[in-house]
């Protein structure tokens, strides 16, 4: 399978990278921690003006009509700067779910998302807490075998602290004004494509997109931590030499670089699978999330070692990125969940294994 991105995709990635590098600085992230909402409305407007918020919204609803494969490079750049705003969630989870649901819900909310007027947040029961629930104009929640759509006045929120100060996590409890389920149990829900979609299929596809979003951001986070460690190792001297010249330090960062490089193709392959609705999308996503989050975890560990004791302090910006990496590894399915999905396939009858099977294209 050819994973070469088009010239337009790479140019757009470079444009977004330059914008994010200039606007989403560690100083701006630290400032957002002191805000009550933890989010910067001015930055959200800027993201919308670039067309990023409505990137995956269909053109008939005012968006750019792109898909998860188009957005995966942008998600990596969001990870590189540890973007706090729910851009990746919007483009890779909320909008695709609304597309699947279709009908009046999609017709009402997709144009508002594309215009930057509304934020839709999706929460799965297995995640326990819902990130950015306080910012949502609409909450779409999975509870058991049912799916619900809530507006802010229909729920009660209780904030919970996170290891990552940029995250705002909430326990969501419907109040007596709660709505009826969008769909319940195994009953099919007919969307605009005339193909019935059940609650179970929605759960699997939403989990896949959330895990893919985490994997893509983990790649960016890992790269950023490596870059920070390299820069520090060039500046910090010991025995009259930059510590980056020491073989032990080189090995620490080289080990991360290898893990990171081997994670890129599976993430891109997973994005292709999800965007094209391939039957092996779940396996591809779990493979991608495991590798990308392992690379980010190793980047955090080794970058701390390169920085020495300073790496643990609040004054060093490294902790912004390593704590986000730790948080992402345990949301939208932790390692145990995704290893179980891989194991189910590996031990199934007739499983096709090896690189040829992993990267083959399914018609």
Q: What is the largest CA-CA distance in the chain?
A: 71
Rounded Cα gap, residues 68 and 71, in angstroms: 5
Residue 39 domain flag: no
Residue 12 domain flag: no
Return the number of other C-beta atoms located less than 10 Å from residue 291's C-beta. 23
Q: Which residue has the tokens 């985490």?
A: 214
Q: Say what the pLDDT of residue 348 is.
A: 78
Residue 147 domain flag: no
- Local structure of 64: helix, strand or coil: coil
Residue 183 domain flag: no
Q: Do 97 and 202 touch, CB atoms closer than 8 A?
A: yes
Please state at what angle helix 247-275 crosses helix 281-307, rounded to 10 degrees.
160
Q: Say what the pLDDT of residue 147 is.
A: 87
Q: Phi and psi (nearest 5°) for 268?
A: -65, -35
User: In terms of Cα–Cα distance, which of 79, 27, 28 is closest to 299?
Assistant: 79
Give the residue numbers spanning the domain of 235.
200-358
Residue 95 domain flag: no
The pTM of this model reads 0.90
Q: Say what the pLDDT of residue 314 is.
A: 82
Q: Say what the pLDDT of residue 211 is.
A: 97
Q: What's the number of domains the chain is made of?
A: 1
Residue 303 domain flag: yes
CA angle (147, 101, 215) in 5-degree steps = 80
What is the CATH number for 226? 1.20.140.10
Contacts 24+ apart (CB under 8 A), 190-199: 191/100, 191/101, 191/102, 191/103, 192/102, 192/103, 192/106, 193/102, 197/100, 197/101, 199/142, 199/145, 199/146, 199/147
Mean pLDDT by groups of 10 residues along the chain of 363 residues = 82 95 95 92 94 95 94 97 97 95 91 95 93 95 87 92 94 75 45 54 93 98 95 74 73 93 95 92 96 97 88 87 95 94 84 67 53
Residue 344 domain flag: yes
């Amino acid at each position: 399978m050819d994973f070469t991105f088009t010239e337009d995709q790479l140019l757009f990635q470079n444009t977004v990278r330059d914008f994010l590098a200039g606007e989403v600085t560690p100083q701006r992230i630290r400032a957002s921690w002191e805000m009550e909402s933890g989010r910067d409305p001015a930055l959200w407007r800027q993201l919308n003006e670039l067309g990023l918020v409505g990137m995956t919204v269909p053109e008939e609803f005012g968006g750019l009509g792109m898909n998860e494969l188009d957005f995966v490079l942008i998600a990596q750049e969001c990870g590189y700067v540890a973007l706090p705003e729910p851009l990746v969630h919007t483009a890779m989870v909320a909008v695709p779910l609304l597309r699947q649901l279709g009908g009046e819900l999609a017709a009402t909310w997709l144009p508002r998302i594309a215009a930057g007027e509304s934020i839709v947040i999706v929460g799965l029961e297995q995640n326990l807490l819902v990130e950015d629930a306080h910012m949502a104009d609409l909450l779409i929640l999975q509870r058991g075998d049912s799916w619900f759509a809530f507006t802010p006045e229909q729920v009660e929120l209780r904030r919970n602290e996170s290891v990552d100060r940029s995250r705002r996590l909430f326990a969501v409890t419907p109040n007596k004004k709660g709505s009826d389920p969008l769909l319940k149990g195994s009953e099919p829900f007919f969307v605009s494509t005339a193909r019935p979609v059940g609650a179970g299929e929605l759960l699997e596809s939403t989990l896949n997109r959330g895990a893919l979003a985490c994997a893509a951001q983990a790649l960016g986070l890992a790269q950023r931590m490596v870059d920070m460690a390299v820069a520090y190792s060039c500046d910090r001297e010991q025995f009259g030499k930059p510590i980056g010249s020491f073989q032990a330090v080189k090995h620490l960062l080289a080990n991360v670089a290898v893990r990171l490089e081997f994670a890129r193709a599976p993430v891109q392959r997973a994005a292709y699978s999800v965007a094209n609705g391939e039957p092996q999308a779940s396996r591809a996503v779990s493979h991608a999330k495991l590798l990308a989050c392992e690379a980010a975890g190793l980047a955090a560990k080794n970058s701390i070692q390169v920085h020495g004791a300073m790496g643990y302090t609040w004054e060093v910006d490294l902790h912004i990125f390593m704590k986000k990496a730790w948080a992402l590894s345990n949301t939208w399915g932790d390692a145990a969940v995704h290893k179980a999905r891989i194991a189910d396939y590996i031990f199934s009858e007739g499983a096709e294994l090896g690189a040829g099977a992993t990267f083959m294209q399914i018609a």
